Structure 1
Amino acid sequence: MKNLFLIINREFINKVRNKSFIVMTILGPLLILGMTALIAFLTKINDSDIKKIAIHDANQYVISEFKNNKHTEYIDLSALPIDEAKAQASESYKALIYVPQADSIQQIAKTVQYISEDSPSLDAIFSIERKINDVITRNNIEKLNIDYKKIDEAKADSEITVVKFSGENTLKGINEIKIAIGSLFGYLIMMFIIIYGNYVMRSVIEEKTNRIIEIIISSVKPFDLMMGKIIGNSLAGILQFAIWAICGLAILLAAHSFMGSSPQVAQAQEMANAIQHGQSGLDNINLYIDEVMKLPIATLLISFVVFFTGGYFLYSSLYAAIGAAVDNETDSQQFLMPIIMPLMLGVYVGFFTVMNDPHGTVATIFSFIPFTSPIVMLMRIPFGVPLWQIITSMILLIATFFAVVWFASKIYRVGILMYGKKPSWKEIYKWLKY
């Protein structure tokens, strides 16, 4: 046990003193803020761009439907010959909407063309089709001597209230918030496993390549060395994430303090206090906040710690075994895919099944499988998972971790002193029998 603590301390100190670790710890929050600001800036630029689209409608059937907005400006080239309109549109505009000559408005339904060098988005095409369909539909209704204005007046705007069987009101869109929270925790676990699992593997490969491992292994059991590397790197990673979390919290508090002391914000708050219940938007925000606070936050946080630790130890033991089996990172690539695949599978199962049916058969099964449970179960917990399922999943994860560590230690014990040959899967299987 003493040797284990010495190895943990050595791995932790070596990691936190590494220049790349220090640089990334400092630059990490700044890079995240920079990326966020860049995305917001690019989104703003994209929204401010005005697309100029020309229209050639010789019959003037649909031109009135295309009205300018903050994103699109429509230019009428109907007075020009079509060839000249195409030439002008190709030089000066993004595209040309061409409505051919027709005897009746019904004939244009299948003849309208969108002419452009760039392929348009489906949303743009659907928007144009909706405008044309509205014109033709109104014309058909008028032919039937039906007042279209009365149809518009008769249209209803329904709104469904979502209520639980207990009679408690809930909110539309709360499921999206739940899946976002669960996905954030699951994504953090996946990234931590991949990043710091690779650190463990590289550490083993480096010591093996430098032949330092031969000296270390003479006084330390292979199992203690493997566990020391896993735990030491995990503590360094947890320290880095803790620093980032503290920095993020400090930035949020500073921003809140700055915004709270701003005169414009103070005026806005006074106006908001003066406004009565007519502003349903503010009420909805409060309702969403209340709904989020009803989530099993304590269960989610405790589960995050357990699944975070269990998932990392489970996969890091495999990374350590791979590092011991190969001589360089290039040789490790053939063994990494089977490790990464369950993580990716957990992410896809989470997004495509938990979101649609968090308590369905597929989501439930994968939340019990130890190689996917750290991600899938955390995505399910915000939707309310029975405690026995969470505990069972944790027990299976921990039991699998001990089983995998036992197998990984066998590979580690043999592979750590193997040099000059890239092992095959068959050879690794033989090592398990030693």
Structure 2
Amino acid sequence: MGVLSLIIKREFIAKVRNKSFIVMTFLSPLLFVGMSFLIAFLTNMNKGEVKKIAIHDEIGLLKSDFKNTTDTKYVDLSQMPLQLAKDTASKNYEGLLYVPKVGNPKELVNSVQYISDESPSLEFVSGIEKVIDNQLTNNNLKELGFDSTKIEKAKVASELHITKFSGEEGLKFLNEVKVFFGGAFGYLIMMFIIIYGNFVMRSVIEEKTSRIIEVIISSVKPFQLMMGKIIGNAMAGILQFMIWVIIGLVVIIGASMIFGTNPADASTAAQAMNNIPENANVVASLMQKINLYYQEIPVLLTVSFFLIYFIGGYFLYSSLYAAIGAAVDSETDSQQFLLPIIMPLMLGIYVGFFTVINDPHGTVATVFSMIPFTSPIVMLMRIPFGVPVWQLILSLVLLFGTFLGVVWFASKIYRVGILMYGKKPTWKELYKWLKY
């Protein structure tokens, strides 16, 4: 145990003293926030541009229905000959909306054309089709003797009021928020496993190629060396995550103090709104809504199980990364073995987002939250919805039990491969090594 602790200490210190580790630990949150603002800025950057669309309506039926908006301006070129309108639109406008002359307006269902050298967006096409549909529908209603104006006035926009059986106020889109919250933690686990698993693999490859491993193996068992690398890198990863959590809590508390809200008590949000400037009411309203969602999501429980599933998932996959590192001589040779490791992680992400949001307690979501190779991701997505205790216990038992089995197999590959040089191993040879 003393030798193992020395290896863990060596790996941990080597990792946390690395300049890239220190820089990324404190720079990553800033990069994340910066990227969020950059995406928001790029998304809104083109909203100020106004598209100019020319219209050539030969029957004069639709041109008055296309209204100018903040980002689209329609110009009527119906008085020009069609070819001249096309030439003008190709030089001065985004495109030309052509409404041909037909005997019956019903024929316009498949006759209207949008002429442009660039493909229009789906939103733009849907908007054009909606205007055409509304006009043709109104014409049909008139032919049938109905008053389209009265029908439009008779339409009602309902809003479903969500409450609980206890009488408490419910929240719209709560399931989506829960899936996003759990999915964010699941995605973090996947990224941590890939990043720190690669750290373990690179460390093994570096020591193997430099022949330092031959000296180390003379006084340390291969299994102890492998576990020391895995645990040491895991501790560095947990330390990094805890630093990010602390930074996040400081930001949240700071925002709460600035906007006068308390994340743990949404009832004080209304009082706080009276104490802030008028131009901050929108922000305070948003904070109040966030507080309501905060109360419905088991944040502390999810964070706690994030750490547990991170440890289990990381140990499970890192043992495979260590075995791959021992089997190959360079990172290039490792590529053929990495895909089978990454695929279950990707499967967990997709299964989680496409099944948990619709049926978090369904068969598919439940089964994949039990399978050890996908449970660290899928189970974290299910936890905000409430998971029976027996399922959590069974999932963790299977995860850590599989980890022990995988470590046993991986240690056999590690033991043989750590001293193999100059030959690219195949899957068949790895299978032979398991029998030694």
| Aligned equivalent of 2:390 | 388
| Cross-structure match for 1:250 | 250
1:233-244 equivalences under 5 Å are: 233-244=233-244
Task: Give the aligned partner of residue 360 of structure 2.
Answer: 358
Contact 1:62 1:135 in 2 (8 A): yes
**Amino acid in the other structure paired with 1:186:** G
1:14-413 matched pairs, under 5 angstroms: 14-164=14-164, 168-254=168-254, 257=257, 269-270=273-274, 286=288, 289-413=291-415
Number of equivalent positions? 425
How far did 1:189 drift?
0.3
TM-score by length of 1: 0.91
| 5+ residue gaps, structure 1 | 262-267
SS at match of 1:52: strand
Contact 2:273–2:284 at 8 Å: present in 1 too? no
CA shift, 1:290, in A, is 3.1
Q: Deviations over 1:293-320 (max 9, x none)?
A: 1333343222211111100111001000
Q: What RMSD, in angstroms, separates the aligned Cα atoms of the two structures?
A: 2.6
> Which whole-Å CA distance do the structure 2 matches of 1:179 and 1:422 have between them?
42
> Structure 1 residues 257, 162: closer, same or farther in 2, change over 3 A?
closer
**CA distance in 2 between partners of 1:391 and 1:296 (Å):** 18
- Say if 1:351 and 1:240 are closer, same or farther in 2 by CA, change over 3 A: same
CA gap 1:133/1:272 in 2 versus in 1, 3 angstroms: farther
CA drift of 1:416 comes to 0.5
Give the deviation of 1:258 after TM superposition.
5.3
2:259 and 2:284 in contact (8 A); partners too: no
Aligned residue for 1:162, secondary structure, equals coil
Q: Secondary structure at the match of 2:119?
A: coil
Structure 2 residue runs without a partner (length 5+):
262-271
The answer to whether the 8 A contact 2:297-2:384 is kept is yes
The SS at the match of 1:158 is coil
Contact 2:50/2:70, CA 8 A, preserved across alignment: yes
Distance (whole Å) between structure 1 residues aligned to residue 285 and residue 252 of structure 2: 23
C-alpha displacement at 1:256, in angstroms? Answer: 5.2
Q: Which amino acid aligns with 1:30?
A: L
Contact 1:174 1:288 in 2 (8 A): no
Q: Secondary structure, in 3 states, of the residue corresponding to 1:78?
A: coil
Partner of 2:269: none
C-alpha spacing 1:202/1:273, structure 2 compared with 1 (3 Å): closer
Aligned-pair identity in percent equals: 62
Cα 1:387–1:296 shift into 2, 3 Å: farther
Give the TM-score of the pair, scaled to structure 2: 0.91
Matching residue of 2:266: none
- Cα-to-partner distance string for 1:53-96 (whole Å, 9 max, x where unaligned): 11111222111211111221111111221111111211222111
**1:386-422 superposed Cα distances (whole Å, 9 cap, x missing partner):** 1111111011101111111111111111111111111
Q: Aligned pair in 2 of structure 1 residues 153, 273: CA closer, same or farther (>3 Å)?
A: farther
